């Protein structure tokens, strides 16, 4: 049984970092075989999870995959499977990438220990989403206003951990977009717009593309903080990579080359989906060889 994240920070299926996978998650493949078709880029993707991906190719993962395949001189092919079914993203990886139905996933937290991550191709963060003109002055999870308003968050994510640590659960409402294949991250913005919550704490790439439809809302990045003496700093900023099966170093190296040589095109593609980019750490070491 795999042990890792059951949902992740970018709403693509896991976010409670390195929690045990639920019972029933399929076992990972133990055979580290490289991809054997140098003419095709086989990508695992969700068929109905905008702004990430859909069958019509409208998501930013779709556009990045198209860019990468073209740069590699390969034909792009998809294996469609939901991130949000039973077992979440861990099961998705086991049943598709590890089962050799495809060779690449376009979004994997850098340093993930289930698969091999490329060097990061973007870095983003959680944000506070509030209505303009409310003058809430929310600059961190410890802001005074957080005790006086209803707080929305995605269940199983980093903000939930902080909300519990700070004693804010009585004011909080959990949303379950990442575990409902029929839900859209747009619903998180709608909850703020409708006044169901005063602030939504969410992963920016999940909602950035929808912000244009909510001109009355605004975003502010959540800063990393220490919430008590002796406790580690809670981080809200993460680097994201592409992922391949463990052992497929040749494909990872080819993807790393595309990431390095097409940095500006990748950045421009993400910008179209209002994914605001933060600088990646200067030094990067593979942790999952």
pLDDT at 3: 32
The H or E element that residue 125 is part of is strand 122-131
Residue 135 within any structural domain of the chain: yes
Same domain, 216 and 255: no
Tokens found for residue 133: 């003109």
Tokens found for residue 194: 């409708």
Enclosing domain of residue 248: 40-122+239-272
pLDDT, tens digit, 9 for 90 and up, residues 61-71: 999 999 999 99
CATH code of the domain covering residue 266: 3.40.190.10
Residue 85 within any structural domain of the chain: yes
Residue 281 within any structural domain of the chain: no
State which residues of the chain have pLDDT below 70.
Answer: 1-36, 281-289
Alpha helices in 82-146, H assignment, sequence order: 88-92
Same domain, 258 and 204: no
pLDDT at 112: 84
In sign, the C-alpha dihedral spanning 104, 17, 197, 125 is negative
The total domain count for the chain is 2
pLDDT at 85: 84
pLDDT at 27: 34
Mode of pairing for the β-strands spanning 104-109 and 237-244: antiparallel
pLDDT at 34: 56
How many CA atoms, within 13 angstroms, populate the side-chain half-sphere of residue 186?
A: 12
pLDDT, tens digit, 9 for 90 and up, residues 165-195: 999 999 999 999 999 999 999 999 999 999 9
Residue 94 within any structural domain of the chain: yes
Residue 187 within any structural domain of the chain: yes
Nearest-angstrom CA–CA distance, 51 and 10: 11
Residue 215 within any structural domain of the chain: yes
pLDDT, tens digit, 9 for 90 and up, residues 132-166: 988 888 999 999 999 999 999 999 999 999 999 99
Residue 183 within any structural domain of the chain: yes
Same domain, 253 and 114: yes
Residue 234 within any structural domain of the chain: no
pLDDT at 35: 60
Region label for 167, one of left (φ > 0), alpha (ψ between -120 and 50) or beta (otherwise)? left
């Amino acid at each position: 049984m795999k042990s890792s994240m059951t949902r992740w920070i970018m709403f693509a299926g896991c976010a409670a970092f390195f929690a045990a996978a639920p019972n029933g998650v399929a076992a990972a493949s133990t055979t580290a075989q490289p991809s054997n078709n140098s003419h095709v880029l086989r990508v695992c993707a969700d068929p109905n999870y905008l702004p990430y991906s859909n069958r019509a190719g409208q998501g930013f993962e779709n556009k990045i995959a198209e860019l990468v395949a073209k740069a590699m001189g390969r034909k792009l092919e998809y294996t469609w499977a939901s991130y949000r079914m039973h077992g979440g993203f861990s099961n998705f990886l086991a049943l598709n990438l590890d089962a050799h139905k495809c060779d690449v996933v376009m979004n994997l937290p850098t340093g993930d220990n289930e698969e091999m991550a490329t060097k990061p191709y973007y870095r983003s963060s959680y944000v506070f989403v509030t209505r303009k003109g409310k003058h809430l002055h929310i600059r961190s999870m410890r802001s005074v206003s957080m005790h006086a308003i209803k707080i929305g968050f995605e269940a199983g994510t980093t903000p939930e951990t902080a909300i519990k640590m700070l004693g804010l659960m009585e004011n909080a409402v959990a949303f379950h977009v990442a575990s409902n294949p029929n839900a859209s991250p747009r619903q998180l913005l709608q909850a703020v717009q409708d006044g169901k919550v005063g602030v939504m704490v969410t992963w920016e790439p999940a909602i950035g593309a929808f912000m244009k439809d909510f001109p009355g809302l605004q975003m502010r990045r959540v800063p990393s903080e220490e919430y008590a003496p002796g406790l580690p700093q809670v981080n809200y900023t993460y680097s994201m990579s592409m992922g391949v099966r463990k052992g497929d170093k040749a494909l990872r190296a080819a993807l790393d080359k595309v990431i390095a040589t097409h940095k500006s095109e990748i950045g421009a593609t993400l910008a179209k989906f209002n994914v605001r980019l933060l600088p990646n750490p200067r030094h990067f070491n593979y942790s999952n060889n």
